[in-house]
Structure 1
Amino acid sequence: MTRATVHPIEQESYRILRSRLDTSHLPPLTRAVVERVIHSSADLEYATDLVCDEASLTAAHAALHAGAPVVADVEMVASGITARRAVCRLSEAKAGPGLTRSAHAVRLAFEQVGPGALWVVGCAPTALEELLRIDAAPALVIGLPVGFVGAAESKAALRASGLPAVSNVSEKGGSAVAAAALNALLYTPAPDRTEENQ
């Protein structure tokens, strides 16, 4: 899905971003994700903090534009995904022995959507940890939870898992940047295969 118009403030924000940071060497979807995350946070350090794989992004982009479901760990992430309704089951989840509400919400969401979804985690490291425990077979995991407790460790575990992912190395992250990473894939048009084959 692409947007018909881009607000002048957003255009100016990207102009300023590109005047301060050269992203032209990045592959197209990686560049889209990096720039949208920086645009949403005004934090240029994400250029070196984010970990993206273009092949994973390409496959996830195709799945997303083919209608794969999107799951968000919290409503703030779901609300930030502006061109697609995301599944979020946190309001129905209950904590239990050794299980946080966020982890239970992951289980509930997986029961609903099954394999092949795009998972967007911007708040709860325990949601990301639970996602790594179940056999979710995701199209992509955007793992950008924020915090001093467990956030960096859960993202390191995501990278070590071998799942297709977008993550970052530091403790920073959050709902806005996680939603921005997904929006970058939503707003980037699918490649024109006829042009590629000429």
Structure 2
Amino acid sequence: MERVVHPIEVESYRRMRARLDTSHLPLLTRAVVERVVHSAADLEYATDLVLDEGELAKAHAALHAGAPVVVDVAMVAAGITGLRTVCRLKDAKSGPGLTRSAHAIRLAHEQVGPGALWVIGNAPTALEELLTLDASPALVIGLPVGFVGAVESKAALRASGLPAVSNVSEKGGSAVAAAALNALLYQPVSPTEEKS
């Protein structure tokens, strides 16, 4: 099913592109940067995001081949358009040295196994927990927000060598994490991806 774009979104992108030149960016990188900037109305994301076109291409192929998508909170799931996601937060419990968000990531990992796309926009502890697991992710969108642990967890993600989308600052959140995933979801599958 082809996505119908509302005229307000078309105009919003036109105005954003009048203020931000992304024409030099590769296709998927441009899609993610623009959708994140658009979701937050924050042009600074264009220089704050850290991502790799090759990793995005592999994640795009995995997503469109039906790889599971795991989210840390229901707000991230709510922002992802037309796609079933896994969120185990309602089943999770906190304990000594373990937040509810971290426990939810453990539960989700047990459920989906390797090869999933992980979208973390709320809890730095969820991202930290993911990095302790042998998740072999297709992609980690690690954009938790906050003044405690967010910067550090995103730096640890980048240092891990896992395929990732992250940012350097404290900024992030459910809307921008969902937007990054939606950017990949909305990009059509190329003929070369269909053959592989």
TM-score by length of 2: 0.97
Alpha-carbon distance in structure 1 between the residues aligned to 2:84 and 2:173: 19
Deviations 1:37-90 (CA, angstroms, capped at 9, x unpaired): 011000000000000100000000000000000000000001111121110000
SS of equivalent to 1:119: strand
Letter in 1 for 2:129: E
Q: How far is 1:193 from its partner? A: 2.7
Letter in 2 for 1:58: A
1:189 matched to which residue of 2? 188
Q: How far is 1:137 from its partner? A: 0.4
Contact 1:77–1:176 (CA under 8 A) maintained in structure 2: yes
Alpha-carbon distance in structure 2 between the residues aligned to 1:193 and 1:74: 34
SS of equivalent to 2:131: helix
Letter in 1 for 2:182: N
Q: How far is 1:191 from its partner? A: 1.6
2:131 matched to which residue of 1? 132
1:120 matched to which residue of 2? 119
Contact 1:2–1:189 (CA under 8 A) maintained in structure 2: no
1:77 matched to which residue of 2? 76
Q: Which stretches of structure 1, 4 residues or longer, exceed 2 Å deviation after superposition?
A: none
Contact 1:72–1:119 (CA under 8 A) maintained in structure 2: yes
Q: How far is 1:2 from its partner? A: 4.6
SS of equivalent to 2:135: coil
Deviations 1:103-132 (CA, angstroms, capped at 9, x unpaired): 000000011100000000000000000000
Deviations 1:130-160 (CA, angstroms, capped at 9, x unpaired): 0000110000000000000000000000000
Alpha-carbon distance in structure 2 between the residues aligned to 1:22 and 1:14: 11
Unpaired stretches in structure 2, ≥5 consecutive residues? none
Which structure 2 residues correspond to residues 91-102 of structure 1 after superposition, within 5 A?
91-102=90-101
More moved, 121-130 vs 82-91? 82-91
1:173 matched to which residue of 2? 172
Letter in 2 for 1:8: P
SS of equivalent to 2:67: coil
Kindly indicate whether residue 65 of structure 2 is the aligned counterpart of residue 66 of structure 1. yes
Unpaired stretches in structure 1, ≥5 consecutive residues? none
Alpha-carbon distance in structure 2 between the residues aligned to 1:190 and 1:142: 20
Contact 1:116–1:136 (CA under 8 A) maintained in structure 2: yes
Percent of aligned pairs with the same residue? 81
Letter in 1 for 2:67: A
1:156 matched to which residue of 2? 155
Letter in 1 for 2:189: A
SS of equivalent to 1:22: coil
Alpha-carbon distance in structure 1 between the residues aligned to 2:129 and 2:181: 20
Alpha-carbon distance in structure 2 between the residues aligned to 1:119 and 1:147: 19
Q: CA RMSD in A?
A: 1.0
TM-score by length of 1: 0.96
Alpha-carbon distance in structure 1 between the residues aligned to 2:131 and 2:51: 18
Kindly indicate whether residue 7 of structure 2 is the aligned counterpart of residue 8 of structure 1. yes
Deviations 1:18-53 (CA, angstroms, capped at 9, x unpaired): 100000000000000000001100000000000010
